[in-house]
Structure 1
């Protein structure tokens, strides 16, 4: 069995709590106290963020089992920054809304320092997968 230190588990829980509190402040007021209907993309994004929020609440109790949700967040934000934000920034055409999204995505820079990579490697890469038949 792969061991992760208690300190690392508390640090992971702190990350989940940070996400939970951040989304509670940034997303839920716009969902709950809405006066007019949301646009299609805004409703889809808010629904995904609400689902992510709920899964991060589970991460407070099960920090290792919920690691895939943190990995997903790390991958999509990194891809968006590399594919969208960096090219726009490099060419000087980054508008205000892109800056806002980029700023919110930059929180992901702390993830690689918190994720227990040895555990991720041993469980998701080295360990034998589920049978196919």
Structure 2
């Protein structure tokens, strides 16, 4: 039995730099939106507002690691792609089809829709090889 991980296909330098750019855009964007409120807050957060702010701050720190290690941190981008896509399909589309899309949902959707560029940047062949074809880590 071969226990060594197989070699994933190479990822082009262009794709690596696109991934780095994506991570950096997330870091900078959240750096302007989330971190100032966390550092200098005039009023206490509501419970879920505080949870979301802290999760986004942690996400930005994780994406900062992705600037240096873009392939190692791919699961972070997959998580972002998955939750935002699920939210758009399960929440926004039904509201839109029912004619019940409110301003608050539209405002959030506008910030979520840019995730639609992720599929064009992610190295799908590499990920399929690494996450689907490569033998799983041992269970025992």
Partner of 1:65: 72
Q: Which runs of 5+ in 2 are unaligned?
A: 1-6
Q: Distance in 1 between matches of 2:104 and 2:95?
A: 12
Partner of 1:84: 91
Segment drifting more, 97-106 vs 116-125: 97-106
Partner of 1:109: 116
Q: Distance in 2 between matches of 1:32 and 1:8?
A: 34
User: Pairwise CA RMSD of aligned residues?
Assistant: 0.8
Superposed CA offset, 1:95-117 (max 9, x none): 11111111111010000000000
Q: Distance in 1 between matches of 2:13 and 2:66?
A: 15
TM-score (norm 2): 0.92
Q: Distance in 2 between matches of 1:28 and 1:107?
A: 21
Superposed CA offset, 1:62-105 (max 9, x none): 00000000000000000000011111111111111111111111
Give aligned pairs, total: 133
Query: Residues 14-25 of structure 1: matches in 2 within 5 Å?
Result: 14-25=21-32
**What is the deviation of 1:33?**
2.2
Verify: 1:48 aligned to 2:55, yes or no: yes
Which protein, 1 or 2, shows the higher relative CO under an 8 Å CA cutoff with sep ≥ 6? 2
More helix by share: 1
TM-score (norm 1): 0.97
Q: Distance in 2 between matches of 1:117 and 1:80?
A: 22
Q: Distance in 2 between matches of 1:39 and 1:22?
A: 22
Q: Which runs of 5+ in 1 are unaligned?
A: none
Segment drifting more, 116-125 vs 3-12: 3-12
